[in-house]
Chains A and B, each alone.
Chain A
Amino acid sequence: MAAPKPVVVVGHGMVGHRFVEALRDRDSDGTWRVTVLCEEPTPAYDRVSLSSYVGSWDRATLAMPGNDYTGDELVELRVGERATAIDRNARVVTTSAGDRIGYDALVLATGSYPFVPPVPGKDLDRCFVYRTLDDLDAIRAAVETAEPGATGIVVGGGLLGLEAANALRLLGMTPHVVELAPRLMPLQVDEGGGAVLADLITGLGLTVHTGASTSAIERRGDGLRVRLSDGQVVDAALLVFSAGVRPRDELARQCGLQLAERGGVLTDIGCATKDPHIFAIGEVAAVEGRCYGLVAPGNATAEVVADRLRGGTAAFPGADTSTKLKLLGLDVASFGDAHATSPGALEVVLNDATKGTYSKLVVSDDASTLLGGILVGDATAYGTLRPLLGRRLPADPVSLISPAGAELGVGALPDDAQVCSCNAVSKGVICASIADGACDVPAIKAATVAGTSCGSCVPMLKRLLAAQGVEQSKALCEHFGQSRAELFQIVQVTGIRTFSALIAEYGIGTGCDICKPAVASILASTSSDHILDGEGASLQDTNDHFLANLQRNGTYSVVPRLPGGEISPEKLIAIGEVARDFGLYTKITGGQRIDLFGARVEQLPEIWEQLIAAGFESGHAYGKAMRTVKSCVGSTWCRYGVQDSVALAVDLELRYRGLRSPHKVKMGVSGCQRECAEARSKDVGVIATEKGWNLYVGGNGGTTPKHAQLLAGDLDRDTLVRYIDRYLMFYIRTADRLQRTAVWQETIEGGLDHIRAVVCDDALGIAAQLEAAMQRHVAGYSDEWAGVLADEEKLSRFVSFVNAPDRPDPTVQFDESGPRKVPLLLGMPGTFNTAESGR
């Protein structure tokens, strides 16, 4: 076999990476050896999602899958090394490390650089651009020296500018957006859509200056003074230029390759330059003279060149410049001939100023064919409309964008309609994968790569699954065909209050470890009865049954409630005394509480007698229930605090204590935007602003960490509590078993927007009901452990052996020789074997 030929890829952005993957996929017999030059210190990452780097500050979360090519000997990735010159005659690339690399094929994937308008003062040290992870790190460093909520100016109100404004907002700044055109996102939306967009964005606390440019930037104290062309003067802590990009074509220029009129490496439809050994892909490529600044056409160029290197004849298929984005939590979509420039094109517009939505369809002169459209405020129709581009309309255009109109079924789409435009996957390919056995969205993603880039087609994938008759089973377990949410409704409507009655009427068999605790949780969420009353005792998981957390050797741990993480010296001493008296191992938890480990069941009542005497109550660490409300110290002590976060956290924890839910619920309250309580990693996070409180929902840590999303901003205290009441009760009623709030928000029909409509706008008319349910919970709360101590029958269950209630379990043993107490398991060295443990 011949030695592989060298191909050098200059640039490791999303498209460069896509090219390497596409080539390696096709090049199964190893005819090419790839060298990739990656100028940035981080290999290919998801630049489209750059703003999501804010908060996590973890570069790994944005990494493109497989971007290090581990185990592929035919790919060499050189990180932090860029190309400095191309010698076309010798076919050699010189790198910044001084290496000279020979090539048979050279692929330019250098992307773009941010355009900075020639404004006086543009080079001041508080002026930034927004393109790379390093740019965001620099912006972050500047934000940290500014006051929370300080003004940040974004020059550019297009797609990238609004992304940058979003990043500043996530960093706790108050953004001003300056756009030269008379409207925001001038390329994607028209005047009407731009007006609705500006209204929505202003409503979020941003300031929009359209029809204005930046005429001068001056230093003022630690910050900047920015003069606009309309005479306004804005003082700001920093400024970000995000006014478009220009292709990075300097290498091509130096080696004499032809450039397009407005920049970019000129290529033919096969992405080849005049030099048959050199190709250009992504944003630097001017395919037949035109550059594209979107990832979908970039990916298409990568595929074309990969195919050509394998001897194929693929051609650039033309770009779909359709865009659907969530900017600052707002939906914006633009597709096809959005500005109605086709001859004779007609427009159908629905502009609902009261709801803040704008929808426009562009149709052919005979109103039969869909040519394009714009959706602002609500882009749910995008999934079905975009694939219909250039096709006959299946219905009256008004009905397609009217909320009252019939929703278009996926059946209306032809097989060759593109469902995932990022990766060019058609409906037919997706349906074929379903026919081949893909039975859920992850399986479709694995089989077709649809939905793996921007994710906007995922709802469409679900509908295709449903349309193909793939039942996404919602059955709780083999005993109940219903989902948890359905059982919740059944309990509410029928008033059934026991598991045995529920399974007799609506299920089969005797139950299991899935449905029993799930039903117990529903019964607990809908009443204030003690969870161990009557039949309830037999339904509970062992944690709830002994009101403590089972540990690996069969002992339990005890967590008293410390509302808001606040504790007096007397109470600290009391906990210390309990731990000492019972020989318990102690550890501080992540939720600002103290966990006492190693208690045997018969010790639990004695432990709680002491704790209750010292003023403690159950912390529900053992339950799928509201756990803790973590807080920072807040304005009482902290120099930066703007609100009293501890007082609010204590009140919230006392309000929601004991509330049982589909999964655990954690909360947090931070007293300023510095966010020391890490509230955005909680199911419910509250962050103080100068004007009130911002409410974030749906965050969690764990295997798949999620940041909570903003539900509503600048709330007064009463509204805040009312919204949390509604949110939690809506979650409890509609979530699946063991579904955290983050997943619930993602999977509920309509997503967070729907939840916001229900919670903030009472769209379903159930807000009063939800609040009343929470009020019943608050009024009916009593401490579960006090309830056990007052009830002889419940107390009698806290024994290791029913026939020897005074005997501790002899198999429970600890090793206390090391730095900390360690439980010993049976059959391990250092313990004994009982008659049966050898099995």
Chain B
Amino acid sequence: MTVLAERHTDFGVGSWTPACALDRLLPGRGVAVLLPDGAQVALFLLPDEKLVAVGNIDPFGRAAVMSRGIVGDRRGEPTVASPLLKQVFSLIDGRCLDNECYALPVYEVRVVDGFVEIRAS
């Protein structure tokens, strides 16, 4: 795992941060990724093998827990439910489906040589 730290080559905003090897992820489950600026990202591998990433902080519960929510869908739209008070967020655009006043930031994800990388969009 420490090998990952060596891949932190660029710490500026807009640059890509390596998260983990793609095969480390379980379909339908999230992991948390720490960005160089201290921001936290919840990274999910969806059942259809698509990768998505949103902010890790639950705006209702004000704690860094979104990566631990249950992944699913509402009428086909992929979602994650906060593990605290179960509000459901879209994994497409980050908006809260139970209260449209709230949204999670969305991050870009790519895979390079079997490694997942993330950056703020």
- Residues of chain A whose beta carbon lies under 8 Å from any beta carbon of chain B: 478-479, 500, 509-513, 515-517, 535, 537-539, 541-542, 545-546, 550, 552-554, 796, 800-807, 809-812, 825-828, 834-837, 839
Chain B residues closer than 8 Å to A539, beta-carbon distance: 28, 70
CB under 8 Å from chain A, chain B span 26-76: 26-29, 31-34, 37-40, 43, 46-47, 55, 57, 59, 61-65, 68-76
User: 18 extra interchain contacts, Cβ-Cβ under 8 A, other than A510-B78, A802-B19, A834-B40?
Assistant: A511-B72, A512-B88, A513-B69, A537-B29, A538-B26, A542-B65, A542-B83, A550-B84, A552-B61, A554-B63, A554-B64, A801-B40, A802-B32, A803-B5, A804-B5, A809-B32, A811-B63, A839-B104
Counting CB contacts under 8 A, is B90 at the interface? no
Whether A810 touches B38, Cβ cut-off 8 Å, given contacts A550-B83, A804-B5, is: yes
Complex contact A512–B65 (CB within 8 A): no
Task: Establish whether residues A516 and B70, one from each chain, have CB atoms under 8 Å apart when the complex forms.
Answer: yes
Given contacts A803-B19, A803-B20, A810-B38, contact A839 B59 (CB under 8 A): yes
Given contacts A537-B26, A826-B63, contact A510 B5 (CB under 8 A): no
**Contact indicator B57/A509 (Cβ below 8 Å):** no
A834: which B residues are within 8 A, CB to CB? 38-40, 57
Residues of B bordering A, CB below 8 Å: 1-2, 4-5, 17-20, 24, 26-29, 31-34, 37-40, 43, 46-47, 55, 57, 59, 61-65, 68-76, 78-79, 81, 83-84, 86, 88, 102-105
Contact B62 A827 (CB under 8 A): yes
The distance in angstroms between the C-alpha atoms of A802 and B65, with both chains bound, is 14
Q: Which 8 A-B pairs have the closest CB atoms?
A: A512-B72, A538-B28, A554-B63, A513-B81, A542-B83, A802-B31, A513-B70, A825-B62
Cβ of A515: which chain B residues have Cβ within 8 Å of it? Answer: 72
- Contact residues in A for B26 (Cβ distance below 8 Å): 537-538
Are B68 and A545 within 8 A (Cβ)? yes
Inter-chain contact B84/A802, CB cutoff 8 Å: no
Which B residue sits closest to A550, measured CB to CB? B83
A535 to B28 Cα, complex, angstroms: 9
Q: Are A552 and B78 in contact, CB atoms less than 8 angstroms apart?
A: no
Residues of B within 8 A of A827 (CB): 62
Partner of B83, one of A538, A541, A809, A825: A541
Residues of chain B lying within 8 A (CB to CB) of residue A839: 55, 59, 102-105
Please tell me if the beta carbons of A800 and B39 are within 8 angstroms of each other in the complex: no
- Are B20 and A802 in contact, with the CB atoms below 8 A? yes
Contact of A803 among B34, B38, B84 (CB under 8 A): B34
Given A802-B32, A836-B57, are A512 and B74 also a contact pair (CB < 8 Å)?
yes
- Using known A-B contacts A802-B24, A803-B4, A828-B62, determine if residue A541 contacts B70 with beta carbons closer than 8 Å: yes
A802: which B residues are within 8 A, CB to CB?
19-20, 24, 31-33, 43
Cβ of A512 and Cβ of B73 under 8 Å apart? yes
Point out the residues of chain A lying under 8 angstroms from B24, CB to CB. 796, 802
Pull 13 A–B residue pairs with CB atoms less than 8 Å apart, ordered by A. A509-B76, A510-B72, A511-B28, A512-B72, A512-B81, A513-B86, A535-B28, A538-B26, A538-B29, A801-B32, A809-B40, A825-B62, A834-B39
| Chain A residues, Cβ within 8 Å of B68 | 542, 545-546, 550
Whether B88 pairs with A513 at a CB distance below 8 angstroms is: yes
Q: Is the CB of A510 within 8 A of B28?
A: yes
Measured in the bound complex, the distance between the Cα atoms of B83 and A537 in whole Å is 15
Cα-based distance from A753 to B88 in the complex (angstroms)? 41
In the complex formed, the residue of A with least CB distance to B31 is: A802
Whether A500 contacts B63 in the complex (CB less than 8 A), given A834-B57, A835-B38, comes out as no
Within 8 Å CB of B75, what residues of A?
478, 509
CA distance A515 to B73 in the complex (A): 11
Q: Which of A511, A512, A554, A803 interacts with B33 by CB under 8 Å?
A: A803
Q: Which residues of A contact B81 (CB under 8 A)?
A: 512-513
| Complex interface: chain B residues within 8 A of A511 (CB) | 28, 72-73
Interface-central residue, B4, B17, B32, B75, by most chain A CB under 10 Å: B32
Asked whether, in the complex, the Cβ of A809 is within 8 Å of the Cβ of B64, the reply is yes
Chain B residues lying within 8 Å of A546, measured Cβ to Cβ, are 68
For B18, list chain A residues within 8 Å (CB).
803
How many whole Å from A608's CB to the nearest CB in chain B? 18
Give Cα distance in the complex from A550 to B85, angstroms.
11
Q: Which residues of A contact B63 (CB under 8 A)?
A: 552-554, 811, 825-826
Shortest beta-carbon distance from B47 to chain A in Å = 5
Contact B55 A836 (CB under 8 A): yes
Task: Name the distance in Å between B40's Cβ and chain A's nearest Cβ.
Answer: 7
Tell me the complex Cα distance, A825–B1, Å: 29
- The total number of A-B Cβ pairs within 8 Å is 136
Residues of chain B lying within 8 A (CB to CB) of residue A516:
70, 72
Residue of B nearest to A601 (CB): B68
Nearest-Cβ distance from residue B57 to partner chain A, whole angstroms: 5
Report the Cα distance A553→B64, complex, angstroms: 8
Given A537-B29, A811-B64: A801 touches B34 (CB 8 Å cut-off): yes
A407 to B99, CA, bound (A): 48
Question: By CB atoms of chain B within 10 A, which of A511, A553, A554, A805 has the most?
Answer: A554
Contact partners of A807 in chain B: CB under 8 A: 34
Give CA–CA (A511, B102) in the complex, Å: 23
Distance in angstroms from B114 CB to nearest chain A CB is 15
Q: How far is the CA of A800 from the CA of B34 in the complex (A)?
A: 9
The residues of B that contact A810 with a CB separation of less than 8 Å are 38
Closest to B83 in A: A542
Q: Which residue of A lies closest to B64 (CB)?
A: A811
Q: Which residue from chain A places its CB closest to the CB of B76 in the assembled complex?
A: A509
Residue of A nearest to B17 (CB): A803
Task: Report Cα–Cα, A510/B71, bound state, in Å.
Answer: 8
Residue among A478, A542, A805, A810 with the highest chain B CB neighbour number at 10 A? A542
Residue with the greatest number of chain B CB neighbours at <10 A, chosen from A545, A805, A810, A811:
A811
B74 touches A478 (CB 8 A): yes
Q: Which residue of B lies closest to A499 (CB)?
A: B28
Q: Which residue on chain A has the smallest CB distance to residue B39?
A: A835
Distance A804 CA – B2 CA, assembled complex (angstroms): 8
Asked if B33 and A801 sit within 8 Å, CB to CB, the answer is yes
Kindly list chain A residues whose C-beta atoms are within 8 Å of the C-beta of B31: 801-802
In the complex, which residue of chain A has the Cβ closest to the Cβ of B68? A542
Report the separation of the CA atoms of residues A810 and B75 in the bound assembly, to the nearest whole angstrom: 36
> Distance (Å) between the CB of A484 and the closest chain B CB?
17
Chain A contacts of B4 at CB under 8 A?
803-804
Closest A residue by C-beta to B78: A510
Name the residue of chain B whose CB is nearest to the CB of A520. B70
What residues of chain A lie closer than 8 Å to B27, measured between beta carbons?
535, 538
Which residues from B are CB-within-8-Å of A478? 74-75
B71 → chain A closest CB, angstroms: 7
- In the complex, the chain A residue whose C-beta lies closest to that of B85 is A552
- B-side contacts of A803, CB under 8 Å: 4-5, 17-20, 33-34
For residue B49, give the distance in angstroms from its CB to the closest CB of chain A.
12
| Chain A: minimal CB distance from B26 (Å) | 5
B15 to chain A, nearest CB (A): 14
Q: Is the CB of A800 within 8 A of B32?
A: yes
Question: Is there an interface contact between A804 and B34, defined as CB atoms closer than 8 Å?
Answer: yes
Assembled-state Cα–Cα distance A810/B32 (Å) = 13
Considering the complex, give the chain A residue whose CB is closest to the CB of B58: A554
| Distance between Cα atoms of A162 and B90 in the complex (Å) | 60
Which of A509, A545, A803, A804 has the most chain B CB atoms closer than 10 A to its own CB?
Answer: A803
CB of B22, distance to nearest CB on chain A (Å): 12
Q: Are A836 and B43 in contact (CB under 8 A)?
A: no
Please give, as numbers and ranges, the residues of chain A lying within 8 Å of B33 by CB-CB distance. 801-803
Task: Determine the distance from Cα of A384 to Cα of B117 in the docked complex, in whole angstroms.
Answer: 68
Nearest-CB distance from A170 to chain B (Å)? 39
Contacts of A554 in B (CB 8 A): 61, 63-65
Q: How far in angstroms is the closest Cβ of chain A from B103?
A: 7
Q: How far is the CA of A809 from the CA of B65 in the complex (A)?
A: 10
Q: Which residues of B contact A800 (CB under 8 A)?
A: 32, 34
Q: Which residue of A lies closest to B65 (CB)?
A: A554
Question: Which residue of the partner chain A has the closest CB to B75?
Answer: A478
CB distance from A381 to the nearest CB of B (A): 44
Identify B69's interface contact among A542, A796, A801, CB under 8 A: A542
* B39 contact set on A, CB distance < 8 A: 834-836
Q: Report the separation of the CA atoms of residues A700 and B43 in the bound assembly, to the nearest whole angstrom.
A: 39
